[in-house]
Amino acid sequence: MISSSDSGAAASYDVTDKAFTTYDIQACLFDPQRVEYLRSAIFQTVKPGDVVVDAGSGSGLLGMFAAQAGAARVYCLELNPEFIRVIEENAQRNGLESQIIALHGNAAKYDLPEDVDVLISEVISAGFFFEPQLQIVGHLRKFLKPGGAVVPRLMKNYVELINAQNTLYGLRLDFDSRFTELAGDHPLSHPALYLSTGFLDPSDPTVDARVRVTGTSDGNANAVKITYDIEFAEGIWADTPTEFLLNPQIIFLPEPVRVQADQEYEVSLNYLAGDSPLTCKIGVLPASA
């Protein structure tokens, strides 16, 4: 039995040309657990005198952490033009204006004026959907000095089969994906690692993965659930959702797949990182077929 999403056409637009809204940027800013992971990683990684780029800078918060850690120059690269002024004002009000340079541009295409020691970029969601983390890091990595570092440094993505709650408020809502878990969601398989990405290494933004999962109970799988964990810097791991970060991605299948306990299933996923989960082609079939 095979089930695949029916809207898996390649993106017809530039998935990197996306500016976060003020709502998104403030959601990141006021997520204290996310900020603490990144702050700890930045202070562990950035050395006095380093040149740093903070890609997708938003409010400039992570760039200011790099400046506090002793960076000589921090390029805060931001696509949303409204936030260039915010970055500059925040730097000035914290006495960091001599270190921080705000740049307006698409971080997946912008050519930096010099090579850097540290690349900071956290525009991440489960499976790399919606946000162009791979394209940004893939482009800016060529400006990284030998021996340079990336924050975060590693991300692992997992997939499992679930029976997802498909009604809410008395309505059937099982077309669009969601990143909110509901009480009626039930796992039907163990999660399996399908993508491990070290951000210092070259990576293809086209994800084409096959992995086996094992059923844990009998039921109808009407969705896959994608989860992830992150190593921000050596020894600084996160695998539990914060207010904004590490939330799962639940993608509904057009047709349910019957799952049996202890049976293995092959799950295939094909999509462009940064694109919508609705474009993801998903296949599920018994591994013995």
pLDDT digits (tens, 9 = 90+) for 242-287: 999 999 999 999 999 999 999 999 999 999 999 999 999 999 999 9
The first and second tokens of residue 127, run together, are 């499976």
Give dist(CA 101, CA 96) in Å, integer.
10
- For 181, other C-beta atoms within 10 Å of its C-beta total 15
The range of the structural domain enclosing residue 233 comes to: 154-286
Q: Sorting pLDDT into bands at 50, 70 and 90, what band is 67?
A: very high
> One-letter amino acid identity for 53?
V
Residue 105 has pLDDT above 60, yes or no: yes
Give dist(CA 34, CA 40) in Å, integer.
10
Tell whether 262 and 274 lie within a shared domain.
yes
Tell whether 230 and 242 lie within a shared domain.
yes
Tell whether 80 and 183 lie within a shared domain.
no
Q: What is the side-by-side order of every strand in the sheet holding 206-214?
A: 206-214, 264-272, 281-286
- The pLDDT tens digits of the residues spanning 120-141 come to 999 999 999 999 999 999 999 9
Assigned domain for 236 exists: yes
Q: What is the pTM of this model?
A: 0.93
Catalytic residue among 36, 78, 88, 122: 122
Assigned domain for 14 exists: no
Please confirm, yes or no, whether 36 is among the known catalytic residues.
Answer: no
Assigned domain for 165 exists: yes
168 forms bridges with which residues in the sheet? 171
Give dist(CA 288, CA 286) in Å, integer.
5
Tell whether 26 and 116 lie within a shared domain.
yes
Question: Can you give the C-alpha Rg of the chain in angstroms?
Answer: 20
Please confirm, yes or no, whether 131 is among the known catalytic residues.
Answer: yes
- The pLDDT tens digits of the residues spanning 146-186 come to 999 999 999 999 999 999 999 999 999 999 999 999 999 99
Q: Sorting pLDDT into bands at 50, 70 and 90, what band is 25?
A: confident
The first and second tokens of residue 221, run together, are 């799988």
Instruction: Provide the terminal-to-terminal Cα distance of the chain, rounded to the nearest Å.
Output: 9
The first and second tokens of residue 255, run together, are 């047709």
Assigned domain for 16 exists: no
Tell whether 181 and 265 lie within a shared domain.
yes
Tell whether 109 and 160 lie within a shared domain.
no
The first and second tokens of residue 191, run together, are 């999660």
Number of domains in the chain: 2
Give dist(CA 174, CA 198) in Å, integer.
33
Tell whether 194 and 257 lie within a shared domain.
yes
Tell whether 193 and 271 lie within a shared domain.
yes
- For 58, other C-beta atoms within 10 Å of its C-beta total 25
Catalytic residue among 131, 160, 231, 243: 131
Assigned domain for 8 exists: no
